[in-house]
């Protein structure tokens, strides 16, 4: 890889998705039973702190009291879908006669800056916002059209962002070295305790 053409994860990921969809279509044409599902910005417990994507990065920065690094002016939008909703949508799809492509995600849209501020607020962190250059391949809008899933599968995301991000913060609090995390209100231990005693999600009314 030359210095003039640095490695970009987003380009590779997008290319892999395009190639995968093309291969699946050819398999369908050959009579092989395959389905195509497109997942959009899934987040939740189980993610790695070093994942590199927006939610893990913001969560770990907030818990450590570090500035949250927002690309550009933060006005680009993202639509986050909790892992529970993603899995439920995939199971509904698998039990249906649909073959796809089918989008599974949450069309509830927020700017990157709004998401950063939500995470700071939920973590009760003293972190600030630090603006960094925006990559050229960073999309301005990421919002799935889930019309097909709604109409054919009656799929609707249920986990509210407040509960989903709170649970995700608790997960990362369990993964981080306590020595790297300053005293927060609530403390790291209290965040972990909240996760351990949580019995379920707050869900939106159908």
Residue 137 counted as domain residue: yes
pTM of the model: 0.76
The predicted structure's pLDDT at residue 17: 64
For residues 95 and 102, give the distance between their C-alpha atoms in angstroms, rounded to a whole number.
13
The predicted structure's pLDDT at residue 182: 59
Residue 87 counted as domain residue: yes
Helix (H) / strand (E) element for 153: namely: helix 147-153
The predicted structure's pLDDT at residue 179: 64
Residue 21 counted as domain residue: no
Q: Which residues of the chain, if any, have pLDDT below 50? A: 1-12, 184-192, 194, 196-200, 202-206
For residues 167 and 43, give the distance between their C-alpha atoms in angstroms, rounded to a whole number.
10
Residue 69 counted as domain residue: yes
Question: Cα 95–107–148 angle (5° rounding)?
Answer: 40
Residue 188 counted as domain residue: yes
The predicted structure's pLDDT at residue 157: 97
For residues 146 and 91, give the distance between their C-alpha atoms in angstroms, rounded to a whole number.
15
Give the chain's domain count.
Answer: 1
CATH (domain of 54)? 3.40.50.720
Residue 20 counted as domain residue: no
Q: 66-91, pLDDT tens digit by residue?
A: 999 999 999 999 999 999 999 999 99
| DSSP secondary structure, 56-99, as one string | HHHHHHHHHTPPEEEETTS--EE--EEHHHHHHHHHHHHTSS--
Peptide bond into 186 cis (omega under 30): yes
Residue 179 counted as domain residue: yes
Residue 202 counted as domain residue: no
The predicted structure's pLDDT at residue 100: 82
Query: In which domain, by residue range, is 81 found?
Result: 35-197
């Amino acid at each position: 890889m030359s210095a003039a053409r640095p490695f970009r994860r987003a380009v590779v990921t997008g290319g892999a998705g395009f190639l995968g969809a093309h291969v699946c279509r050819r398999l369908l044409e050959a009579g092989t039973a395959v389905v195509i599902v497109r997942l959009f910005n899934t987040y939740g417990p189980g993610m790695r702190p070093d994942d590199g994507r927006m939610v893990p990065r913001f969560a770990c920065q907030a818990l450590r009291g570090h500035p949250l690094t927002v690309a550009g002016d933060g006005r680009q939008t993202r639509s986050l879908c909790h892992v529970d909703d993603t899995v439920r949508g995939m199971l509904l799809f698998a039990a249906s006669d649909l073959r796809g492509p089918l989008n599974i995600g949450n069309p509830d849209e927020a700017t990157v800056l709004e998401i950063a501020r939500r995470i700071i607020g939920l973590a009760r962190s003293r972190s600030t916002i630090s603006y960094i250059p925006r990559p050229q391949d960073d999309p301005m809008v990421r919002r799935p059209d889930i019309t097909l899933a709604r109409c054919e599968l009656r799929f609707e995301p249920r986990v509210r962002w407040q509960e989903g991000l709170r649970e995700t913060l608790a997960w990362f609090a369990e993964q981080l070295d306590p020595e790297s995390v300053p005293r927060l209100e609530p403390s790291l231990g209290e965040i972990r305790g909240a996760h351990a005693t949580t019995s379920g999600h707050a869900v939106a009314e159908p």
